[in-house]
Amino acid sequence: MRAIGPPLAFVYDRCASRSRRQLGMRLAGCRHYADRRGWALAGHWYDLGDDALSAHRPQLAALLSAMRAEAEHREVMCLIHTWERLAADATHRRLLQQRVIEAGGWTVTTFDESDRPIQSPVWIRGTQ
């Protein structure tokens, strides 16, 4: 059973280039986005260099492990700047999103996009 309270955001990014300037700006944007919504931050995970381009993402795997542990206690999400921060290829991105779902969370971007399932309204007899 999950406790009531603000969701816990796990910030993820990747950067294959030597320059880390844009990475820093994207991470700061994620922190600001979470702060504006009152979400708690679990931390930042980012894959660099070849790991940022490969199917094997050590930092994403670490994020998912931490997310699984927290998902038992509260609402969790993977916060990214844009969908491309997971993967440029749509099929690969959907596979990575599925891994987040399997860890008990959902993915959200700083552009208000999310793969969170829509909560269906609960119909109570006599209130229709």
For the chain, domain boundaries: 13-109
The per-residue pLDDT for range 12-58, each reduced to its tens digit, is 999 999 999 999 999 999 999 999 999 999 999 999 999 999 989 99
| pLDDT level of residue 5 (50, 70, 90 thresholds) | confident
Whole-angstrom distance, CA of residue 83 vs CA of residue 36: 20
Q: Which CATH number fits domain 13-109: 3.40.50.1390, 3.90.1300.10, 3.40.640.10, 3.40.50.300?
A: 3.40.50.1390
- pTM: predicted TM-score of the whole model, two decimal places: 0.89
By C-alpha distance, which of 128, 104, 82 is closest to 7?
A: 104
The per-residue pLDDT for range 69-112, each reduced to its tens digit, is 999 999 999 999 999 999 999 999 999 999 999 999 999 999 99
Beta carbons of 100 and 32 less than 8 angstroms apart: no
